[in-house]
Amino acid sequence: MEPRSCDTFVALPPATIGNQVIFGKNSDRLSDEVQEIVYFPEKCSRPGEKLECTYIEIEQVEKTYAVVLSRPSWLWGAEMGANEVGVCIGNEAVWGKEEIDDEEALLGMDLVRLGLERAKTAEEAVDVIGNLLEKYGQGGNCSEDSMSFTYHNSFLLADRKEAWILETAGKYWAAEKVEEGIRNISNSLSITTKIDREHPGMREYAKTKGWWDGKKEFNFAAVYSYFNPSRISSSGDRFCEGYKLLRKHKGSMTAETMMEILCDKKSGINMEGGFMTTGSMVSILPQDLKQPCCHFFTGTPDPSRSFFKPFIFVPHIQKLIKTMSPSFGSEDPVKCKPRFQTKPDRRHELYKKHETALSAMETKGKAMLEQIKHLEKQKLKEVESIMKDTNLDKSSLVLLFSECVEEEIKVYE
């Protein structure tokens, strides 16, 4: 089985309804890997303090933003997430001409979390990730199993006004600004000649490797990609199908239609099999600063049979206990060290209930599925009202996500 993973989408005005930016991502991972939803509040650190990421230790910054993350439960970073100031980031595995170093460094998923914790805009997150790549590099096994699963990364970063595509090859990178319309990324390089930011040595490095003659117009994807028929077919097909689904709703995109895209199995966006969609996220980022951003997470596999639950940043949010995996003596950072000879059971409470319910959905008909999808539509309407109410008491939203989890669990019981 060749690893394949992930699709990330963004729609900006005028492609959306209501002057909003809509972000969406499916995290496609090994089918037995548990994805958890976790919240970390803002944090202040002492000068010189160190931060332990999945494999390496780096310098910590003085202050971080609060974040909500959907992440494989064995590591420090995240597949996707958002911060309290309205930045969303998701990453994709990409392969190209630049060799992947087996040496442990920052995972692409570490870079997702670091970008969210340290940046107040999508563009600033591009700088954060670019600087960290230059200083620490990227590398390390992206699987808890003994199977080697290594790759370089691309990122889709969005905030209330714009989005950025950031694609990497080792420490080298290129970034493209997206100010309107629709955009998606899959598992191949997609930035061509429109390059708005880049590593200062990226072009010269390509010349020294003989990939670019220095005369033709520089095309990042063409220069840094290599031909691999199986990967090009897989990621290319999903990229095209994903773009078709975005284009179908161009001008009328909402959070609900983004969820429908993530649920689509015919296109391959909602992946099944040994590699499957293990978690999904959709975010509403209003351009009106008076309105809160809202982030929906499943925390369970297969979005077509899961419940997108809303999360809004407000003061005094507590740990999201029922979507948090067991820590085995280390809550955060790093759950993956030391490696276990036998993989531990990392299923959180919601995951266990959903896992049992999936079998029931297949044997007992549609009633349970209809019930959770009814809940989903109900919460979408509630969020619409919340976002319009400028006088809303924010304290009423502290348990918004956790109460939705409780409602979902009741359906499964």
Q: What amino acid positions are annotated as catalytic residues?
A: 6
Strand partners, 51: 58
**Burial zone of 134 (CB within 10 Å; 0-12 exposed, 13-18 middle, 19+ buried):** middle
Q: How far apart are CA 372 and CA 386, in angstroms?
A: 21
* Cβ-contact 3, 245 below 8 angstroms: no
**What is the residue whose two structure tokens read 């079998």?**
359
Residue 326, token pair as written in the block? 């067991």
The DSSP-derived string for 144-162 is SSSS----EEEEEEE-SS-
The DSSP H or E segment spanning 76 is none
Residue type, 15: A
Give the distance from CA 122 to its chain's centroid.
14
Residue 277's SS3 state is strand
Residues 6+ apart with CB under 8 A from 52: 76, 333, 334
- At 310, the amino acid letter reads P
Q: Which two tokens stand for residue 384?
A: 């619409």
Largest Cα–Cα distance of the chain, in whole Å? 65
- The packing angle between helices 400-412 and 367-388, to 10°, is 170
For residue 281, list its beta bridge partners.
Answer: 25, 297
Contact 24, 262 (CB under 8 A): yes
Sign for the CA dihedral angle at 89, 92, 98, 101 comes to positive
E strand map for 249-369 = 275-286, 294-297, 309-311
Q: What are phi and psi of 157, to 5 degrees?
A: -120, 135
